Structure 1
Amino acid sequence: MFKSRYFYYLIFLNMLANIIVFVPRILIDNRKDGAVMAILIAIPIGLLMAYLFAKFMSKVPRKDVKEILDEAKVSKWISRPLLIYLIIIWFSAGIIALLAFTDITKRFINPDIDVIYIAMLFLVFVSWSSALPSKKVLYVLELILLVNLPLTSFIFFKAFVNDNLSWMNMLEAGTHIGNIPTIHSIAAATYVFTGYINLVIFNRLFSKGINLKYFWLLIPVGFGVLFTTYFLPIGYYGFDGIGEFTYPWLSTADAIRIKFFFVERVFFIFLLMYVGISLINVIVHWHVGLEMIKSLLPKKVDDTKGILKWVKLDYLILSFFSILYLYIQFYVDELTVFKMSEWWLVIRLPSEYIGALFIIFIIWRNTR
């Protein structure tokens, strides 16, 4: 059915989606507290976990995580709480990304429009797309990446050859390599590689497993993404000055100019890229969470009675999380949202790896 490139798409998506909002800000906030060491730690840990998870999921093609746990006869007292926890993590990830995207749209794209209209527009589009079949979600992901990867590569190239870039500022940041990293910086850096965990649902589309022959290419790509995410904003605004920005990468993009091109400011290209990447990232998160909820429901849901006669079950589930997003959007301030996101990343770090290792162990036990 689906070729292995879609697995790499999931990883690339998570890498690109997190070069803009919380990951660079957390790393830059911790620039004197081991951010460089956190990056060096995150690369081998994140890639090793991605490799092991993909390798073992390939041993059970066309099965999602619930089917794997059920076939292994894992107690429901273990499997159900694990799945519910994963559902909360995935929907939370989508809500966090949506909150950031709404704020950026309001600030930088159209400050005059009321935030409620922005929020409702995004919710309608994300909810509709999240309810699509898994294969269609991956097709949309492929289309978005094929359009945005050339734009991303072009922006990175222009950023590194720009006269405003100071390599001395970047070298100054590198002198803090010996500082012990905080758990926050490690959690942020490792999140760049988290796209692999989406296989808990999308693995059912891979009939022949995943070809890991070219997995090694993720090593330079992962290093390049993290290096660029952290060091490039510092190169433009200085080791101390960069700490003043809420969205360091958006400010960095605004500092890049293009001569003899159809637009002068890279900022508009960057925002265009971010629109597509952010929306598909939220769609993937909510789609995975939605599919896991549906996997916990009885096989035959009677949708001929009551409200289910008029409203698709998927949209009822998504409506609940949409209401939660709207509550946070209008009743929680920006600083609190950032702190919530920071601690969400910290909680995700051990739980993601413990959950992935548990699934790996279950597969190993059943296929040895």
Structure 2
Amino acid sequence: MNRISNYFLGSVEQAARIKAGETALIRYLYYMIIMCMLINIMLNVPTFLIERRYDGAVMGILAAVVSGSLCAVVFIKALRQFPNQGLPEIFRSYLPPAIRVPLLLYLGIMWLIAGLIVLITFSRILQRFLDPDIDILILRIFLILICSFLAAGSSRSILYTAEIVILLHVPFVALLLVKALGHEYMDWEAVKAVGQFVRKTPDLEIISVASYIFTGYINMAVFNRFFRKEDKIRGLWLIPLAGFAVLFTTFFIPIGYHGTEGVASFIYVWVSTADSIRMEFGFVERVIYMFLLIYLSISLLFITMTWHVGAELLKDVFSKKQWAQEDDQRFNWTRWLICLLFSPTCIVTLRFLNEKNYLELTDEWLIVRYISEVALVLIVFWLGRKASK
């Protein structure tokens, strides 16, 4: 009897594991993409697009949806040729050290900068809109210590944290967007006025900035280690639909609230827009407090994940040991040290960069990021074709 029960329970557990394996890739892949779609506000993507609202931003959004979705699908499909491997393992197998090491160094630093930008932006927002008297240096040090500690944890724990944060906050973000679209202050005539410039041809700068919302799939460079080749990929057609919806709302809602000209007066346009929305029957009437609380969690998650990925890529450069599943079960001191050594650049920006210079550098980084991302997708696609043969 015990043998029969053990066999039955073992079969059930095995079936559950197989079923979980088929859905894990879809679930966590989409969580990473959704995270970047939400965090684009902290990277000032809407602010830049609004500055170019008469000069190709509308068509640039459409072009970014096409290019970003295409890159996502190609990258995800190419990684299917390398089950249970991240970029460090793939590059180690197919690229010589003279190419592998500089490439991993460059990619790791780009990931660390992504988290750094969000940390700087959100610390400024907290100081300006929550407590102007707070010491921004102490605030940044506090955020750095938290994110560095979390980024040094296991990759699985970060994925599980991402699931919790996204599932908790996406409904509230959707509620805010629906509330904003149906609010009496939403001027659809202003939206129509800007929409008339759809025939303006966008440049590389606009497409680079707008396409950032799709960049979440790039985190599979490390997290692909936990997905098998037999895991099913479904629903990729949702990526362009979700991306278009996010770009449309984050671009046009501030225009509808502040007007075609008045919207250009704000640096952090979405924080000001959230402050214009009221929840008459909510437990918090001013939406800005809910908005800042939601984006505190999302920002910490984004910084943690990007620093974790960046530190993993850099760690492989200085380590000769091949990554293994058992290495992910504990706090990694090397990742923690890499994050702490990189963090002082966040403090230096307080002394040498004002908000205007910082926004300009962010725009330049978004352009470099787009070119680098397309190049990385092509490299992984080429290696995938090579592996399939």
User: TM range, normalised to the smaller chain?
Assistant: over 0.9
The separation in 1 between residues aligned to 2:231 and 2:49, in whole angstroms, is 32
| Residue in structure 1 matched with residue 65 of structure 2 by the alignment | 43
Deviations 1:143-180 (A, max 9, x none): 11011101101101100110000110101110111112
Question: Aligned residue for 2:264?
Answer: 243
**Count of aligned pairs between the two proteins:** 358
Given that residues 33 and 217 in structure 2 are in contact (C-alpha distance below 8 angstroms), is that contact kept between their aligned partners in structure 1? yes
> Could you state the TM-score of these two structures normalised by the residue count of structure 2?
0.89
**1:7 alignment counterpart:** 29
Q: 2: CA distance between counterparts of 1:293 and 1:176?
A: 44
Contact kept in structure 2, 1:254 and 1:265, CA below 8 Å = yes
Aligned equivalents of 1:351, 1:344: Cα separation in 2: 10
- Kept after mapping to 1: 8 A contact 2:86/2:222: yes
In 1, Cα distance between equivalents of 2:30 and 2:63: 21
Q: Which runs of 5+ in 2 are unaligned?
A: 1-20, 323-331
Alignment of 1:1-368 (within 5 A): 2-72=24-94, 74-208=95-229, 211-299=232-320, 312-368=333-389
**Distance apart, 1:108 and its partner CA:** 1.2
Write out per-residue CA displacement over residues 28-67 of structure 1, whole angstroms, 9 at most, x where no aligned residue. 1111110001101000110111011111112211001121
Q: Distance in 1 between matches of 2:35 and 2:132?
A: 27
Instruction: Give the aligned residue type for 2:36.
Output: N
Distance 1:21 1:248, change over 3 A: farther
Identity across matched positions, percent: 37
Give RMSD over aligned pairs. Answer: 1.6
Deviations, residues 67-97 of structure 1 (Å, cap 9, x unaligned) = 112222x222222221111012111111111
SS in structure 2 of the partner of residue 31 of structure 1: coil
- Amino acid in the other structure paired with 1:34: G
Alpha-carbon distance in 2 for matches of 1:174, 1:156: 19
Residues 56 and 123 (structure 1 numbering): CA distance in 2 closer, same or farther, change over 3 Å? same
Q: Whole-Å Cα distance in 1 between the matches of residues 203 and 320 of structure 2?
A: 45
Contact 2:43-2:362 at 8 Å conserved across structures: no
TM-score by length of 1: 0.94
Q: Which amino acid aligns with 2:139?
A: I
Question: Match of 1:193, SS?
Answer: helix
Distance 1:138 1:198 in 2: 11
Q: In 2, distance between residues paired with 1:180 and 1:329?
A: 37
CA distance in 2, matches of 1:170, 1:16: 21
Q: What's the CA shift string for 1:89-122, capped at 9, x where partnerless?
A: 1111111111101101111122221112211110
Q: CA deviation at 1:350?
A: 1.3
Point out where structure 1 has 5 or more consecutive residues left out of the alignment.
302-310
**Aligned-residue offset at 1:300:** 5.5
Q: Relative to 1, partners in 2 of residues 1:38 and 1:210: Cα closer, same or farther, differing over 3 Å?
A: farther
Is contact 1:254–1:266 with CA below 8 Å preserved after alignment? yes
